[in-house]
Amino acid sequence: MKVRLGYVAISKTLLESYCHTITYTRFMKLDEEIREEKWKSLVRENLENLLKVLKYNVQNKIYFFRISQTLIPLATHPDFTFDYITPFLKEWRKIGDYIQKNHLRVDFHPDQFCLLNSTKEQVFKNAVQILLYLEKISNAMGLELPILLHIGSREGGKEEALNRFKKNFKKLPSSIQKRILLENDDRSYNVEDTLSLAQELKIPMVLDVLHDQCNKSSKPLSYYFLDILKTWDGKSLPPKLHFSSSLNQKHKWYHNDYIRWKDFLKFLPLLETAYQDVDIMIEAKAKDEALFRLRRQLKQYNNTLIQFY
């Protein structure tokens, strides 16, 4: 059984950031003749630095990574019309080729504003624009990268909100539908809710272990665990999980800088019951440094059933 560890968006070790951005207000204050060139320079720098991060990951045997939604400044702003694909095709393909060549698992997780089941039509339309943007940059890389979503709002009650999600999900282009993954959240939709919806819509489910601890289902996690993994049957990638430690008892919803070893050790017996390859995204504020520390701790864990990478 192989378990790959990954981290989210930003390396704490590298100084280069691929998340340089600019507000639309600041952008419009620039002299008109330099606006486009300023924006293009930001995009080009971000793409170059993303490739540096991916190379750094491979050098450190990290094959699982989440790309930030903020890669392209202003891309989803309704009044922004610059082409963020064609002028950068060479850079997009270079990144995509590197990901494919090194067998990296890469995905997206849009922010809380990407909400499919809002009661407000404009919010739904904005969410679709975000999804179309992520699809475009994924296609530009020559890839079909997954997009992870929470179910979202509970406006009007949980049952009504779930029905809105189903209805609006079916409005999405099929090319986007097949990219969507669903994750349980820490306040509104627990494992039981999310698994039921994932099974109905035939969407792979991503288990977030900390969210389950904050937002319990009617039965223990062990009751649902194998069924969660089964939602990935027939997919080219192994099941994906999220793991994090809470900041403290008072702020249990917030991520810690690192993974508490005792938290991870407590989860391992459940992982062993699956006896199936999985990938675990480490959601910690220390990013890659948290991953490296967990790796060092895992070297002390003597278990022939699981190989960690």
Q: Which pLDDT tens digit goes with each residue over 229-282? A: 999 999 999 999 999 998 777 777 688 999 999 999 999 999 998 889 999 999
pLDDT number for residue 214: 95
How far apart CA 127 and CA 117 sit, in angstroms, is: 10
What distance lies between CA 276 and its chain's CA centroid?
21
Residue type, 197: L
pTM for the predicted model, two decimal places: 0.93
Residue range 166-217, pLDDT digits in tens? 999 999 999 999 999 999 999 999 999 999 999 999 999 999 999 999 999 9
Over residues 142-170, mean pLDDT: 96
What's phi and psi for 81, nearest 5 deg? -125, 5
β-pairing, 105-107 vs 147-150, is: unpaired
Over residues 3-26, mean pLDDT: 88
Residue range 100-135, pLDDT digits in tens? 999 999 999 998 889 999 999 999 999 999 999 999
pLDDT number for residue 253: 67
- Which segment of 1-10, 27-36, 108-117 scores lowest on mean pLDDT? 27-36
Share of the chain above pLDDT 70, in %: 98
Average pLDDT, the chain: 93
Confidence of residue 301 (pLDDT cuts 50, 70, 90): confident
- Which segment of 3-12, 69-78, 230-239, 242-251 scores lowest on mean pLDDT? 242-251
- Which segment of 21-35, 158-172, 256-270 scores lowest on mean pLDDT? 21-35
What's phi and psi for 39, nearest 5 deg? -65, -45
Ramachandran quadrant class, 31 (left: phi over 0; alpha: psi -120 to 50; beta: rest): beta
Over residues 273-295, mean pLDDT: 95
* CATH code assigned to 206-309: 3.20.20.150
Find tokens 């272990």 and name the residue: 209
152-173 b/e with 16+ CB inside 10 Å = b? bbeeeeeeebbebbeebbeebe
